[in-house]
A = this chain, B = another copy of it.
Amino acid sequence: MIERVVVLSTGDELMTGRVVDTNSTAIASRLAALGISVPAVLKVGDDRERLLWALRTARDLGDLVIGTGGLGPTADDLTTEIVAQFIGRKLKEDTAAADGLRQRFASRKIDWTENNLKQALFPEGSTIIPNPAGTAPGFRVDIGGGKQLVWLSGVPREMSAMMTETILPWIRQQQTAQHQALACTFKLYGLTESKLDDLLHSVNLGNEAKLSFRAHYPDLSLRLAVTSGEHRGLNFVRLHDQILNLLGGYIYAEGDTPLEEVVGQLLMETRQTLALAESCTGGYISHRITSVPGSSNYYFGGAVTYANDAKKRFLGVQPETLDKHGAVSRETALEMSQGIREQTGASIALSVTGIAGPSGGTPDKPVGTVWMSISMGNFHDARTFQFTGDRERIIQGTSQAALNWLRTTLLG
């Protein structure tokens, strides 16, 4: 039974403050969902003494140690060797991993250098953890006292894939059925964290259930986990339904589906094709739509009309409209959505025009003012929004609002 996991994040870039350690947060969050606590997180640099210290310290505190970083081919990637020293084992080349590396390099036509073989060395007795998203595999090894160590790539995408595909299933296997959490995630649009907190005030969780929020702008999600107890199943269903009732209108998905995928599914189901005309978002909505595999089935394409001239030339926006109402206006947004729909023949078109800042704001139209418009069938309307924050935040908030409006329009 794994009950306490100590997380180690390693790398000089963490210790000089050049990189924020998101790995330990992501790992702790996935473990929390399984009802497993993290008594401590340790961050150390690429340094033998420190890493040995961290390994000793972590083994003292936890049943399992999960570490990340330092598996690469370069001289400062010391992890594997130091772990071997820590448990008094030799390093041994894993033939399958070495072959995998050579193949990977060959298929990508990258020159093979022998130092890459370093990534196929593991402490004797290790179980190799495949890396579906990158080069360096990880490993799991016994560190004595019934305790184990898992080491993963420090690249967040790779760490995440290795957790999902190998480590979490392995941990779940070792939990008894009663200790397996029942959990679900609701993805939300249109709520702040404190409003969400307010809305959930009446929910009686008891000792066995836990609600956790995760706000990663512009996304907000709520996770319900019931980790133990005899009536775990009933309890879970009751809480799940109560939350659905309280938050219904704000939930755009159950599970971890991103909003652009929800929109994509609706476009597929309703057999529509989409075109976009973006100004202030500069292609970001188009990027989100096309980040979904298969989006070519419903996405025609779009125009990024940053300059006024581009709005006229690509979308046929009237010069008088721009002169009289400005580029950020109801009228321009309406002509943009109509223009892109006519140009492309798509069945639904969305346009966005606004001021992402930091400059360009006026007292009438401050930075963060955005107009968007949708044209679909006989429906043709525009809406305005006021976003706050820096340029990046305004672009992200705008994209979320636009996708959500597409979603509700497609739902009818």
Given known contacts A291-B391, A305-B301, A307-B301, A192 and B110 CB-to-CB distance under 8 angstroms: yes
**Contact in complex: B287, A301 (CB < 8 Å):** no
Of A82-90, A91-99, A241-249, A276-284, the one contacting chain B is: A276-284
Task: Point out the residue from B25, B40, B395 that lies within 8 Å of A17, measured CB to CB.
Answer: B25
B-contact bits for A328-371, CB 8 A (1 contact / 0 none) = 00000000000000011100000000001111100000000000
In the bound complex, CA of A357 to CA of B61 (Å): 44
In the bound complex, CA of A302 to CA of B313 (Å): 11
CB distance from A190 to the nearest CB of B (A): 11
Measured between beta carbons, the chain B residues less than 8 angstroms from A210 are 12
In the bound complex, CA of A37 to CA of B212 (Å): 33
CB distance from A384 to the nearest CB of B (A): 12
Task: Point out the residue from B24, B37, B214, B314 that lies within 8 Å of A13, measured CB to CB.
Answer: B214
CB distance from A370 to the nearest CB of B (A): 13
CB distance from A299 to the nearest CB of B (A): 5
CB distance from A350 to the nearest CB of B (A): 13
**Beta-carbon contacts under 8 Å, A1-56 to B:** 12-22, 24-32, 37-47, 50, 53-54
Q: What DSSP secondary structure best describes chain A's contact surface?
A: mixed
**Contact in complex: A296, B302 (CB < 8 Å):** no
Measured between beta carbons, the chain B residues less than 8 angstroms from A305 are 301
In the bound complex, CA of A323 to CA of B344 (Å): 20
Task: Point out the residue from B212, B278, B360 that lies within 8 Å of A283, measured CB to CB.
Answer: B278
Measured between beta carbons, the chain B residues less than 8 angstroms from A307 are 296, 299-301
Given known contacts A72-B193, A217-B155, A291-B392, A313 and B20 CB-to-CB distance under 8 angstroms: no
CB distance from A49 to the nearest CB of B (A): 9
Measured between beta carbons, the chain B residues less than 8 angstroms from A217 are 155, 157
Number of chain copies forming the complex: 2
23 of the cross-chain contacts (CB-CB < 8 Å) are A15-B32, A16-B38, A21-B21, A39-B44, A40-B50, A72-B215, A74-B196, A108-B388, A113-B198, A115-B194, A282-B295, A283-B285, A284-B290, A286-B286, A291-B391, A293-B391, A301-B306, A301-B314, A302-B304, A302-B306, A309-B344, A310-B344, A314-B343
- Besides A39-B44, A282-B283, A296-B306, 13 more A-B contacts (Cβ < 8 Å) are A12-B212, A13-B212, A17-B25, A20-B25, A39-B47, A53-B61, A57-B57, A282-B291, A282-B299, A293-B391, A301-B306, A302-B304, A303-B314
Residues on A facing B (Cβ under 8 Å): 12-22, 24-32, 37-47, 50, 53-54, 57, 61, 72-76, 107-111, 113, 115-116, 133, 155, 157, 185, 192-198, 210-217, 223, 225, 276, 278, 281-287, 289-291, 293-296, 299-307, 309-310, 313-314, 343-345, 356-360, 386, 388-393, 395
